[in-house]
Structure 1
Amino acid sequence: MVLLALSAAPAAAVRYELDYAADERMRVRVCVDEAAPLRRFRLDPGAAANLDDLARERGGTLARRGRGFDAADWKAGECLAYTVSLGALADRQARDVGARVGGDLVVSPMQWLVATDAGAPADATLRLPGGYAFSTPWTRLPDREGLRRYRIPATPDDWAGMVAVGRFPERDVTVPGGVLRIAALGGMSGDEADKMAQWMRTVVRGALAAYGRLPLDEIQVKLIASKTRGGAVGFGQSTRGQGQALTIYVDPKRPVEELVADWTAIHEMSHVAHPYLGESGAWLAEGLASYWQNVLRARAGQLTSDQAWRLLDAGFGRGMKARGADMTLHDITADMHARGAYMRVYWAGAAYWLGVDVELRRASRGKLGVDVALSRFQQCCLARMRAWEPEAFVAKLDELAGTDVFARRWREADARKGFPDLAPLYAALGIVREAGALRYDDGAPDAAIREAIMRPPRD
C-alpha cells in the first residue's frame, strides 16, 4: 500500500507544522532542513498579504520579493512562523481563493502555505480542535501523537487545489489501487455522508471497469450540498494542485438512485486517468471524459449497451449542431470559454476517442483498446506530477501500444474544421439511425467491436 511505503520513506527536507484553532486561524511553522545562502519562499500572486506576524524564529533578514520572500543565510533546521485567517480567505467568496460552504471553510493552500524553491515533496503535521475535520488533496500518512500527518506532493504553482476545514463528516472508500477521501460539506448529516459514500462506491466501479484499479493511490472528493437545478447532481470539477481532487455539487436529499443515474461524477472521475494536458489539450481531455462517462457506466452495469450508444449518439448530435464549424478544433478549443463552444469541443473529442478505440481493437483483433493503452500509461507515467503537452501524450500512448493511431488521429482531429463525419464509423459498427432511434446490425464488419466496447468486464 502507498500509505505504508510513504510512512517508511525518509522525512522530507521541508516540514510544515499546522495548528488550527476554532477562531478560524491557522498557525503555521515551515522548517527547512537544508542550508542555503539564500532561501526563497513563494505563494500565489498577492497572497503574501494574507500572512500575519511572519518572522524567522532565529531572527535574521526576511525581505519581501515579488510573490514571496527571501531569507538570507538560511541555516539548516530554521523555521518561519506566521498566522493566517482562513475565515477571512473564505469570506472573499472568490474562485481559487476561498468560500464558505455552510459552516465549513474551503480555501486554497496556495493563498497561505508558503512554498520553497526546493521543488520536492514536503511533510506536514496538523493539530485540530476536537470535533473538526480537514480535507486536502495531500497524501495521508498514519497519525502520530494525536496529529494528522501528510505528504504534500510537489506540483506546478499554477495548478489549483483546495482544502476544507470544519465540522463536516468524512468517509473513506477503499477500492483496489487506492482510496477516495470524501468530505461531505455544507451541513450534510452523517446519514447523508453515508449515502455519498455509497454513491462514490458505485461511481468508482466505472474506473475499475476500465483499468481494474483506481488510477491514482489517493483522491480527495469534496461533495458540496447544493440545491441543484433539474437533477440530483450539479457542477463538477477535477483539480490537481498538491494532489488529485474532485469537487461535485450535489443535492444530498435526493435518493441514491438519482445520484447513480447522473453522469457528472463518472465524467470527473475519468479525468483521473490522464495527465494535465493544458488549455490546448482540453478537447483531448474532455473528449475522453465524455466518451468514458457513457462507456464505463455500461461496463459497470449502470447502463445497457443500447442506452450508452444512444447517449453517445445524442452527444455527437449536439456537437454537430454547435457553432464554430469554420474553425479548427485546435482554434475553437483555445476560444472555448469565450464562445461557449463546449458541445463542439467535448463531443468532437469524444468522437476522436471512439475512432481510436475502434481502430485499435480492429488492428489488434480485440487485444488492444483505449483502456489498455491508458492502463499502460498509468503504470509508467501518470503519478508524475507534471503537465504533458497533448502531442507528447498521444506519442507516448502510441509508444506504449506499439501503434501510430493516437498521434495520427490527433493531428487530423486537431486540424479539422467542422464536426467529424461519423457515418463510415457507424456503418462499420452496425449503428443505424432509423426513425429517430438507433438499431444495430449484427452483420456489420465491426459489430463485435461495438459489443466489446460496452461489455462489462468478465470475472
Structure 2
Amino acid sequence: MALSVTSGVAHGAEWRNARSTQIPVDGGLVEVNVHAGRYSVSAESINDWVTRSAHAVSTYLGRFPVELLRLEIRSEAGDDVGFGMAYGHDHHIEVDLGHRANANALMTDWVLVHEMLHMGHPDVGDRHKWFKEGLATYVEPIARAQIGNRTAQQVWNGFRTQLPQGQPQPGDRGLDFTPTWGRIYWGGALYFFVSDIAIRQQTGNRKGLQDALRAILRAGGTLDRDWSIQKTLAIGDAATGTTVLQDQYQRMRARPVRVDLERIWQQLGVSPEAAPGPQVDEKAPLATLRTAILTPPDPPVKTGGAPD
C-alpha cells in the first residue's frame, strides 16, 4: 500500500502506525517499512529516496543485487539520515532517519546507497572488513555521480579531502591487520581507488573496477554468500583480464603501504579545492581515466538531480 502520513509534515508529523510499501527497482523489489515515529518528510520523498538510491546501485553494478530487499526505517533525533546497517542473511537494511530531516537531506544522503552496495558483494570474513567497507565507501559517490546525483567536482573534492584518512599511521600494519576506522573505511577505499586506476592503465581504459565488481555479482557474490577473499578477487580480475586486485591485495594486506596521492592527483588532473582556476586539468596524463571512472557503461535513467 502507499505510504501516507498525518498533516503537518513540514514541522514533523507523527506516524502513529508503521507504514509499508513495495517499490520496484532495476531487477528487484524493495519492501519499505517505515516504523511509527515522527518524520518531517513526505511519503513521496521517502519513496524517491529509496528509488534514487537503488538506481545508483543498479547503474554501477549492472542490476540491483538482490531480488527482494527489506528496508526498515526508524525515526530518531536529528536532521539527517543517521546510522545504517546491512544484513546479508535475510537481505535487509536498517536505517535511522532524523525526525527533522527534510527532502534535501534525502537528496544529498549517502548512507542508503552505501548500505545497498553491501548487498552486492560476498561476505569475505571479518579480517577483510576493509574490503566491504572500502568498496562501499569508494563506490558510493561514483555510483551517485553516474545517475547525476553528484557532480564530478563533488566526487573528486571529496576523495582528495577524505582518502588521506586511509593512509597508514605510525605502528599500523597492512589492511588485514589494522582494524581501525580510518584503515577499514578509507584504507579500503584507497585499495579500490588505486586498483581502479591500475586496471584502466593496464587495459587502455577499456576496463575498470566497475567491470570487476559487476562480474563478482554476476557470479553470485552477494552478502549472504561466504567467499574467500582469494576467490572474490580472482573472479574480479578474470573480468578485466588483469591480476590487479590480487596483486594490490598482496602488496597491501600485511604491509603499511603509503599511497603517493599527490602524484596521483597530478596525473589525474585534480587540483586542491582551494586552488585558483579550474579544479580539473583536461590535459593531465590520466584525465581520460578520471572521466571514465564517473561515466556509466550504459546511459542511466535520470532519477534525481545533483544536489547543491
Give the alignment's TM-score, normalised by structure 1.
0.57
Alpha-carbon shift at residue 259 of structure 1 (Å): 1.4
Q: Does 1:201 align with 2:51?
A: yes
Q: Which residue of 2 aligns with 1:264?
A: 111
Could you tell me how far apart the structure 1 residues matched to 2:39 and 2:271 are? 48
Q: Is contact 1:297-1:303 (8 Å) kept?
A: yes
Q: Which residue of 2 aligns with 1:237?
A: 85
Are residues 353 and 383 of structure 1, via their aligned partners in 2, closer, same or farther at CA, if it must alter by over 3 Å? closer
Higher strand share: 1
Are residues 194 and 392 of structure 1, via their aligned partners in 2, closer, same or farther at CA, if it must alter by over 3 Å? same
How many residues are treated as equivalent by the alignment?
A: 285
Could you tell me how far apart the structure 2 residues matched to 1:447 and 1:440 are? 8
Q: Does 1:329 align with 2:175?
A: yes
Structure 1 counterpart of 2:200, one-letter code: R
Alpha-carbon shift at residue 347 of structure 1 (Å): 0.8
Could you tell me how far apart the structure 1 residues matched to 2:291 and 2:39 are? 42
Higher helix share: 2
Are residues 191 and 293 of structure 1, via their aligned partners in 2, closer, same or farther at CA, if it must alter by over 3 Å? closer
Q: Does 1:373 align with 2:212?
A: yes
Is the partner of 1:220 in helix, strand or coil? Answer: strand
Structure 2 counterparts to residues 280-299 of structure 1, below 5 A: 280-299=127-146
Could you tell me how far apart the structure 2 residues matched to 1:385 and 1:299 are? 26
Q: Does 1:451 align with 2:291?
A: yes
5+ residue gaps in structure 2? 1-13, 301-308
Could you tell me how far apart the structure 1 residues matched to 2:211 and 2:271 are? 28
Structure 2 counterpart of 1:427, one-letter code: Q
Structure 2 counterpart of 1:371, one-letter code: Q
5+ residue gaps in structure 1? 1-101, 105-166, 334-340
Q: Is contact 1:328-1:417 (8 Å) kept?
A: yes
Q: Which residue of 2 aligns with 1:254?
A: 101
Structure 2 counterparts to residues 206-217 of structure 1, below 5 A: 206-217=56-67
Aligned with 2:121 (options 268, 274, 282): 274
Structure 2 counterpart of 1:330, one-letter code: D
Could you tell me how far apart the structure 2 residues matched to 1:397 and 1:316 are? 23
Structure 2 counterpart of 1:179, one-letter code: L
Could you tell me how far apart the structure 2 residues matched to 1:189 and 1:257 are? 14
Q: Select the structure of larger CA radius of gyration.
A: 1
Q: Is contact 1:179-1:219 (8 Å) kept?
A: yes
Is the partner of 1:398 in helix, strand or coil? Answer: helix
Alpha-carbon shift at residue 376 of structure 1 (Å): 1.8
Alpha-carbon shift at residue 383 of structure 1 (Å): 5.0
Q: Is contact 1:275-1:386 (8 Å) kept?
A: yes
Alpha-carbon shift at residue 279 of structure 1 (Å): 0.7
Q: Does 1:392 align with 2:231?
A: yes
Q: Is contact 1:315-1:347 (8 Å) kept?
A: yes
Could you tell me how far apart the structure 2 residues matched to 1:180 and 1:293 are? 19
Structure number with higher relative contact order (C-alpha < 8 Å, ≥ 6 residues apart): 2
Alpha-carbon shift at residue 324 of structure 1 (Å): 4.9
Alpha-carbon shift at residue 343 of structure 1 (Å): 1.8
Is the partner of 1:386 in helix, strand or coil? Answer: coil
Aligned with 2:23 (options 153, 168, 173): 173
Q: Which residue of 1 aligns with 2:151?
A: 304
RMSD: 2.6
Structure 2 counterparts to residues 62-211 of structure 1, below 5 A: 167-187=17-37, 192-211=42-61
Alpha-carbon shift at residue 223 of structure 1 (Å): 0.9
Residues 227-275 of structure 1: per-residue CA shift (max 9 Å, x gap)? 13xx41111111112x211111012542222112121111111111111
Q: Which residue of 2 aligns with 1:218?
A: 68
Structure 1 counterpart of 2:65, one-letter code: P
Alpha-carbon shift at residue 328 of structure 1 (Å): 2.3
Is the partner of 1:183 in helix, strand or coil? Answer: strand
Moved more, 426-435 or 207-216: 426-435
Residues 415-447 of structure 1: per-residue CA shift (max 9 Å, x gap)? 231542223322321223375688222112210
Alpha-carbon shift at residue 189 of structure 1 (Å): 7.4
Residues 131-190 of structure 1: per-residue CA shift (max 9 Å, x gap)? xxxxxxxxxxxxxxxxxxxxxxxxxxxxxxxxxxxx411111101210111110133679
Could you tell me how far apart the structure 1 residues matched to 2:294 and 2:151 are? 8
Could you tell me how far apart the structure 2 residues matched to 1:424 and 1:416 are? 21
Is the partner of 1:303 in helix, strand or coil? Answer: coil
Give the alignment's TM-score, normalised by structure 2.
0.83
Could you tell me how far apart the structure 2 residues matched to 1:247 and 1:324 are? 35
Q: Which residue of 1 aligns with 2:261?
A: 422
Is the partner of 1:441 in helix, strand or coil? Answer: coil
Is the partner of 1:181 in helix, strand or coil? Answer: strand
Structure 2 counterparts to residues 40-55 of structure 1, below 5 A: none
Is the partner of 2:51 in helix, strand or coil? Answer: helix
Question: Equivalent pairs: percent with the same residue?
Answer: 25
Could you tell me how far apart the structure 2 residues matched to 1:312 and 1:332 are? 21
